[in-house]
């Protein structure tokens, strides 16, 4: 079944999500590569092909090695490839994205807070929430990845 282009159907809604995306990519003190790493992990958990494709390309373009990018889903097994900051962000990303299971546990919150501090943790959580919202639109309306066979 063909689904509509949600950008065209709800221009104001798309504009609002676009403004949120703009804020999280330009208005926080978090490093850009870290933001795209979080975007990729959220998208992998949610299964958004379009976003996985885009954020994988963004990370490779930023200079992240293909070896590291392909191992993001199993980052805990190859923790030596990821900085302390990346591991803390990925752990919190998984906690928040799977919130119906984790309820953002006190232990996970304390660990993330100790690394990021209050302001950056709030902003990281906004980054995670933004990508979760965008994933839901992309998946619901079957946005296609750029990848070609």
pLDDT averaged over consecutive 10-residue blocks of the chain (149 residues)? 91 96 97 98 97 97 97 98 98 98 97 97 98 96 86
**According to the model, what pLDDT value does residue 147 have?**
82
**Rounded-to-integer distance, Cα 107 and Cα 133, Å:** 25
The burial class, CB within 10 Å (0-12 / 13-18 / 19+), for 49 is: middle
Between the alpha carbon of residue 1 and those of residues 4, 81, 137, 141, 142, the distances in Å are 10, 41, 16, 10, 10
**According to the model, what pLDDT value does residue 149 have?**
74
**According to the model, what pLDDT value does residue 18 have?**
96
**According to the model, what pLDDT value does residue 86 have?**
98
């Amino acid at each position: 079944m063909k689904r509509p282009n949600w950008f065209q159907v709800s221009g104001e809604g798309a504009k609002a999500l676009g403004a949120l995306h703009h804020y999280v990519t330009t208005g926080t003190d978090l490093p850009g590569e870290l933001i795209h790493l979080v975007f990729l992990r959220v998208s992998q958990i949610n299964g958004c092909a379009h976003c996985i494709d885009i954020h994988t390309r963004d990370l490779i373009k930023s200079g992240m090695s293909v070896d590291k990018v392909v191992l993001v889903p199993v980052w805990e097994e190859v923790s030596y490839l990821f900085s302390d900051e990346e591991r803390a962000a990925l752990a919190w990303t998984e906690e928040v994205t799977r919130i119906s299971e984790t309820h953002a546990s006190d232990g996970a919150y304390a660990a993330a807070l100790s690394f990021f501090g209050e302001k950056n943790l709030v902003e990281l959580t906004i980054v995670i929430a933004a990508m979760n919202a965008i994933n839901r639109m992309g998946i619901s309306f079957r946005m296609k990845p750029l990848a070609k066979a």
